[in-house]
Amino acid sequence: MQTKPVLTLDDVKKIAAAAEAEAKANSWAVVIAIVDDGGHLMWLQRLDGVAPISAQIAPAKATTAALGRRESKIYEDIINNGRFSFLSAPYIEGMLEGGVPILVDGHCIGAVGVSGVKSSEDAQIAKAGIAALLA
């Protein structure tokens, strides 16, 4: 039987604080969502001034990254490169850049999804949060 690390609430708080700091350092209003490895929401933080729709998009990006075990941008690229049938993939709706898996010792233990600014900036915020956990 294998063992793997799991995401704890303390881990989630550390990720969220670092992601929030990155967003605030750049004056970006975003939603930060953190999910476990099954895509179940553990944290949702909506900064002041962000569009309400971002509260739906961020968790979807995080779930996509967790279930796929890869950045949500990969799916966006697949679709943008003409494989439109991928839009029918089950259980994943956040096929936009900004969802980043949390990988520890080769295991995906969850993901961070961010929405509210440019997709590359969303990913930057998510990666800053994850870096704080892995530091």
Residues 9-22 have a mean pLDDT of: 98
d(CA 28, CA 7): 26
Band of pLDDT at residue 92, cut at 50, 70 and 90 = confident
Q: What is the DSSP letter of 39?
A: -
Residues 87-101 have a mean pLDDT of: 93
d(CA 56, CA 84): 22
Nearest residue to 67 via CA among 32, 33, 111, 31 = 111
> To which residue do tokens 């080769």 refer?
106
pTM of the model: 0.97
| CATH superfamily entry for domain 9-134 | Haem-degrading domain (3.30.450.150)
pLDDT for 115 equals 98
Q: How many CA within 13 A on the CB side of residue 89?
A: 16
